[in-house]
Amino acid sequence: MRDRLHVTTVARILTVATIAYAPCSLAADAAPWLLYRDANPFVAASGLPFAPPVAAEGWSVEALVDASNTEVAFERGGERLTYDAEIHAARIAVTRAFGPHWLVRATLAELDIGSGFLDGFLEDYHRTFGFSNGDRGRLVTDGHTIRYDDGNVANTVAFDRRLHALSPLLVDLAFRGDASERAEWMAGATVKVPTSHASALVDDRSTDLSLWLALQSTDAQARWPWGARVGLMQRGNTQLLADRANDQVPFADAMIGYRLTPHWDVAAQLQWHAALYDSRVPLLDDAATLALSSAWHADAGWTLRAGLVEDAIPRHAQDVTFFLALSL
C-alpha cells in the first residue's frame, strides 16, 4: 500500500507538471545546468541544493531519471562504514518565472534503493578505463546494505532492505538581474521540507536553509555557455548521525558547455560541498562530483540530455551515476 501511495503521489506531480507545461518554454539560451547534486544518501537526505533553476518565462518542467551504484567499505579509527547498494531516482522539477526577475522551483523524487542491475556493467566499465575501485561482489552483503557504526548507539545506521520512498521536497526562490549584455546574476535561497519517515537515509527529517549566489551566461549565440555558484547550507536538527553532523556546509558549482551545432551541445558540471559530518570516513567527508553530458535541443522547444556522473574525489561520493533528463 505504501509503495502504491508513493507511485501515485509522483504520478500526480507528473500530471500537474504536464498540464502546467502548456504555456511554458525553456530558455533556449539558458546555461545547461544539470538537475543534480551528490547522490550519496548521507548527503542526499539533507537539503543540499540542486543546480540553479532556469526558466525563460512562465512555466518550465524538467524530468530526470538516474541510477547510481556504489560498493565501498571503510574502517577509520573507531568508525566503520559499509555501503553496497544501487539507488534509482525519478525526479521532477517544476519552475515558475514571475516577470523578468523572480523564479520559484519545486523538486521532488521517487527513490528506489536495492541491489540494482549495474554491477556487471560497471565492472567492465572500470576495467576498460583502468579504474581501481570498480570490482563488485567483494563485500559479503546482499546488495542493498548501508551500515555505519562508531560505538555510539545514537549514530548507528543499519539499513539492509529494499526501499521505495519519496525524497525531501526542495523549494528554490531566486531573484535575477543583468550582469552584462551576455550574463546574469542570481541570488537565491533553497529550503528543504521533510516528506518521508521511511528512513533517515532518504530524509534526515531536518529543515535546512541554503543561501547562494550564481553568475551565468545568457547569450544565445555563445559557443561556450557557462555558469558558477557559491553558497552555504544551514542544517536543522538532523536524525542522521546527529552527534557528528556539521551545522554549516559551504558548497560551490561550476558548469561549462560547448555548442557543437544549434541543436547539439556537450557540457561538464563540477559540484563540490564541504563535509556534512565530523568524520574520518571519506564518504562522509567533503566531496566533489563531475557530470559529463550531451544534449539534443529540438525545434519544438524540448531538450533531451544524457550522461554520467563520477566522483571527482575518489571514494568521497557515489561511484557512478547514469542519467537521462528531459526539459520542457
Specify the pTM.
0.86
Dump pLDDT digits (tens) for 34-62: 999 999 999 999 999 999 998 778 899 99
Which residues contact residue 106 at a Cβ distance below 8 angstroms, ignoring those fewer than 6 apart? Answer: 93, 94, 169, 170, 171, 172
CA-closest candidate to residue 50, choices 325, 277, 328? 325
Q: Phi, psi at residue 29, to the nearest 5°?
A: -100, 10
158: pLDDT strictly greater than 80: yes
Q: Phi, psi at residue 7, to the nearest 5°?
A: -65, -40
Alpha-carbon distance 157 to 60, whole Å?
38
Dump pLDDT digits (tens) for 92-146: 999 999 999 999 999 999 999 987 777 667 666 666 766 655 555 555 556 678 9
Total H helices, total E strands in the chain: 3, 15
Dump pLDDT digits (tens) for 265-306: 999 999 999 999 999 999 999 999 999 999 999 999 899 999
Alpha-carbon distance 152 to 229, whole Å?
37
14: pLDDT strictly greater than 60: no
28: pLDDT strictly greater than 80: no
37 contacts 269 by C-beta, under 8 angstroms: no
Q: How far is CA 262 from CA 87, 179, 296, in A?
A: 34, 24, 9
When pLDDT is averaged across residues 76-95 and rounded to a whole number, the result is: 93
Alpha-carbon distance 62 to 19, whole Å?
13
pLDDT of residue 141: 59
CA-closest candidate to residue 275, choices 302, 299, 247, 253? 247
CA 305 to chain centre: 15
C-alpha cell at 110: 521517487
CA 34 to chain centre: 9
Pick the more confident residue, 259 or 160.
259
Fold of 2-327: Porin (2.40.160)
Residues in the chain: 328
CA angle 85, 119, 116 (to 5 degrees): 50
